[in-house]
Amino acid sequence: MIARAGGATAQVHIHRGYDVTVNDAKLTEWSIPTLGRVAGEANVRFIDKVCGAEDFSCYQKEVPGFFYFLGCTAADKDAATAAPNHSPRFFVDEACLKLGVRSLCGLTLDWLATNAK
């Protein structure tokens, strides 16, 4: 309709990509104490849903999962105004990598301890 209004024609093809990533609510709730212990309770929070599509959603079709963000903005920068990922100005403060490894290890060990059979 928009193309016709300008005296043109158009063809539209919508390519379906990855599904929106939706965390498993129970697993996400379970993870909060571990993440709070590892990162400090004041550093762990829920964020509003975003319409991000991620290949991780394919895994979540098979098993429950949760996707979390690891802050990587330098301490002397404001995360609210820092360049977002996928931007050529995006900068990762590699100091966050240690916390990333600690959080994944903590979650893994707590999961194994909780679900030992």
Q: What is the mean pLDDT of residues 60-71?
A: 89
Computed over every residue of the chain, the mean pLDDT equals 90
pLDDT of residue 11: 92
pLDDT of residue 57: 87
Q: Please state whether the predicted TM-score (pTM) of the whole model is above 0.85.
A: no
Q: What is the mean pLDDT of residues 58-85?
A: 90
d(CA 34, CA 44): 10
pLDDT of residue 92: 93
Burial 3-23 (b: 16+ CB within 10 A, else e): eeeeeeeeeeeeeeeeeebeb
pLDDT of residue 42: 93
Encode pLDDT of 16-62 as tens digits.
888 888 889 999 999 999 999 999 999 998 887 777 778 888 888 89
Q: What are the catalytic residues?
A: 18, 94
Q: What is the mean pLDDT of residues 78-101?
A: 92
d(CA 47, CA 9): 42
